[in-house]
Structures are given as C-alpha cells and as structure tokens.
C-alpha cells in the first residue's frame, strides 16, 4: 500500500481538502461553560456512546446542568467508570449506565424496556455512538457494521423512544433529538440497492454512507414530527474533526499523521461536544428542528440530503430492516 493511498481516508475525514481544515481552524470554539446555558433540573437525557470522547463530554456537561443522564453503552466496565468520573467531576448523583449494544436489535429493545420500567420522562436523546473505518464485518443481525450500528441502531432506538419523547415535550419546552453525523456525509453516497455494501466494500464509503443516512433520517423525522404536531424537535450535528479513539482502525501511517498534527488540526473531545450540547439545551434551539449544525451554527448539509423522495425511501426501507411498522407512509 502506497503512502498516498494510506492517507486517503484521513484526507477524506478532513472534509476532503486543506481548505476545509483551514475553515475549521478559523472557527474552532471551546465548549461553552455550563453556566452559559439554563439549568436542566428535572430533565432526563439519554446519551449513546457516553463512556468516551464526545459522548462522555456531552453526558458530563448535561449532568453538570442538572439533568438526570443515562449513558447507553456496550461495555459495562467502561460505563461504570464513566459514571464514577462524572459523579466525581460534577458532584451530582444524577447519572447512570444502562447496557445497550447498538449492533443488536435485541439489545436495543431490551434497553428500551429497561428505560421504560423506570417510568421517567425523556427530554433529550443524543444519538452519539458510532464506529469508523472498521474492517468489513457484520452485526449479529447481519447488517454491515457502519450502517447497522451508526444508522439502523439509532433509527430503531429513536423510534422506540418516540412515544416517551412526545409525552415529555411541551409547547414551551420541546423534547429534543440530537443526532451526531459527520462532514464525511458530504462525500457519502446512499446505495439503496446495496445498503449493506455487499457488492463492493470500502471502509470510508460505508462510513460516509451511514453518516449521510443519519442526516436524511433526521430531516424526514422532523417532517413527520411537524406533521403530527408533536412537541419534539430533531437536529443533526457535525462535531468537526475530533481527536478520539475512532481513528483506531486507520492505517498506521495515518495514525502517525494524526499524532503529529492533532494539536493543530483536531478538536479536543470537549470542543467536539459543544454543538451536541448546544443542540440539546440552548434556548436558541427551542422549537427549532430539521437543522444541520456545525460550530453551534446552522449550516447547509449535502444537497442530496434535502431530497425528500430519498428521505422517504430510506425511512421505508429502514422500517423493514429493523422490523417496525412504517406509519410514516401515511404522511405526505
């Protein structure tokens, strides 16, 4: 493998060019201190992948604001350690861990059952967990891992929690769904006839497809929520290029490049979490949905993401794949 071919995945993640990196350098922001947002006492949030990186920082800041935070993750020991650290750093006991493997439809359903058994509301759902550039492999349900975990897992989780979110939102305080995508969605292609990448597998192609699917999903979801008059909003966020463990599967040359340039080009996990936190609690986002947010600002996503027919087709196919009824088929 040549040096150039080894660096291609990294270059793609860096928004496919140096100009994008320079834009990020000019607009880097640290996460606003929790005091910048109103307290969230009495509210409940679920954060997937909240044991490390962006998810951990998101969970910690929401807990610091007074939320009861439930971290959903697939490694019990990491989850309990995250809970311990957040309690220690925020001096709050309103954080807990529940097991949820987003690569398993059965596990997701069990998680939702456990959550419902608590008989508590749900005001914020942060769909944060994900894998990146992993070798070709399948989930226990037979889905390609990027598509199955990053997208279908969150699609099912969100739909199963939707009734609780609708019951928890009010006219003045909407419940919020925040989904973490990536700038790689700009170069993503959705292959409706081969969503599992069986014909030709590329780690970057599969990853970018999953991130594009999350944007399409969010826009369709907001359309449905609006059509039903629900007090729930759905937005998608781009955290930027963040120095996290997601890069563990890239080629070693790329890892060296990341190690050498992280201080200059990459955000810290705390900086990367800022837009998720903003979308979850900022008064500016009250009642606002269907947005693509980057650096706490609304920006334009890929043109293909606004294709309403594609949004509908992906939604319908996703319902079939995860085994839920497509009630949205009755909505124009």
Asked if residues 69 and 86 have their Cβ atoms less than 8 Å apart, the reply is yes
Q: Are strands 297-299 and 292-294 parallel, antiparallel or unpaired?
A: antiparallel
Distance, in Å, from the CA atom of 156 to the CA atom of 301, rounded to the nearest integer, reads 23
Cα–Cα dist 328/222, whole Å: 11
Q: Classify 132 in phi/psi space as left (phi over 0), alpha (psi -120 to 50) or beta.
A: beta
Check 14, 56, 151, 207 and give the catalytic one.
207
Residue 284: count other Cβ atoms within 10 Å of its Cβ. 11
Cα 126 to Cα 130: distance, rounded to the nearest angstrom: 12
Is the distance from CB of 99 to CB of 23 less than 8 angstroms? no
Are 302 and 215 in contact by the 8 Å Cβ rule? The answer is: yes
Distance CA 94, CA 66 (A): 8
CB contact set of 46 (below 8 Å; sequence gap of 6+): 69, 70, 72, 115, 122, 124, 125, 126, 161
The runs of H, that is alpha helices, within the chain are 3-13, 18-27, 53-64, 76-90, 105-117, 145, 154-168, 203-227, 252-265, 269-281, 308-322
| 207 in active site | yes
Please identify every residue annotated as catalytic: 207
């Amino acid at each position: 493998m040549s040096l150039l071919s080894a660096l291609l995945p990294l270059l793609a993640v860096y928004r496919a060019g140096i100009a994008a990196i320079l834009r990020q350098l000019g607009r880097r922001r640290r996460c606003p201190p929790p005091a910048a947002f109103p307290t969230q006492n009495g509210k409940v949030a679920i954060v997937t992948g909240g044991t490390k990186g962006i998810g951990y920082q998101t969970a910690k800041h929401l807990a610091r604001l007074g939320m009861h935070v439930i971290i959903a993750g697939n490694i019990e020991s990491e989850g309990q350690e995250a809970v311990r650290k957040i309690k220690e750093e925020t001096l709050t006991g309103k954080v807990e861990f529940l097991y949820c493997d987003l690569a398993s439809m059965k596990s997701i359903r069990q998680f939702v059952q456990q959550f419902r058994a608590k008989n508590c509301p749900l005001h914020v759902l942060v769909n944060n967990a994900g894998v990146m550039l992993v070798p070709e492999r399948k989930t226990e349900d037979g889905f390609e891992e990027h598509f199955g975990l990053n997208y279908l897992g969150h699609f099912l989780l969100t739909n199963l929690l939707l009734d609780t979110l609708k019951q928890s939102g009010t006219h003045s305080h909407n419940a919020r769904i925040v989904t973490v995508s990536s700038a790689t969605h700009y170069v993503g292609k959705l292959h409706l006839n081969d969503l599992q990448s069986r014909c030709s597998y590329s780690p970057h192609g599969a990853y970018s497809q999953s991130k594009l699917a999350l944007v399409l999903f969010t826009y369709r979801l907001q359309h449905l929520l609006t059509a039903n008059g629900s007090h729930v909003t759905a937005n998608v966020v781009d955290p930027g290029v963040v120095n996290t463990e997601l890069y563990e599967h890239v080629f070693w040359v790329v890892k060296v490049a990341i190690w050498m340039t992280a201080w200059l080009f990459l955000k810290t996990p705390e900086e990367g979490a800022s837009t998720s936190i903003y979308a979850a609690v900022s008064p500016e986002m009250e009642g606002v949905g269907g947005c693509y947010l980057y650096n706490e600002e609304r920006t334009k996503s890929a043109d293909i993401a606004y294709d309403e027919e594609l949004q509908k087709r992906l939604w319908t196919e996703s319902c079939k794949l995860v085994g839920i009824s497509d009630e949205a088929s009755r909505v124009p």
